Amino acid sequence: MRQFEQASTPLTIIGTGMAGLSLARAVRSRDTARRITLISADSGDEYAKPLLSSAFTKRQTAEALVARDAVGIAESLNAQVRTHTLVEAIDTTRQRLHIGAETLPYGQLVLATGAAPRQPFELDPALRGRVFQINDLDDYRRLRGVLDIHPERQARIAIIGAGLVGCEFANDLHAGAIGWRWSLPRRRRCRDCCRPRWDGRWARPSRQRELISPSSVN
| Per-residue pLDDT, 196 | 45
Using one digit for the tens of pLDDT, what is the confidence trace for 61-98? 899 999 999 999 999 999 999 999 999 999 999 999 99
CB burial string 155-191: b at 16+ within 10 A, e below = bebbbbbbeebbbbbbbbbbebebebbbbbeeeeebe
Give, in degrees to the nearest 5, the angle at Cα 208 between 205 and 214: 170
| Per-residue pLDDT, 97 | 97
Closest-CA residue to 120 (of 185, 26, 47, 179): 185
Pairing relation of β-strands 108-111 and 11-14? parallel
Beta bridge partners of 157: 180
Using one digit for the tens of pLDDT, what is the confidence trace for 126-175? 887 888 888 889 988 988 888 788 766 677 788 887 777 778 888 887 77
More confident residue, 154 or 43: 43
| Per-residue pLDDT, 106 | 95
Using one digit for the tens of pLDDT, what is the confidence trace for 112-124? 998 877 777 788 8
| Per-residue pLDDT, 45 | 95
| Per-residue pLDDT, 29 | 95
Using one digit for the tens of pLDDT, what is the confidence trace for 167-212? 888 888 777 766 655 555 544 444 444 444 444 443 433 333 333 3
Q: How far apart are CA 112 and CA 94, in angstroms?
A: 21
Q: How far apart are CA 183 and CA 208, in angstroms?
A: 7
Q: Are 187 and 209 in contact (CB under 8 A)?
A: yes
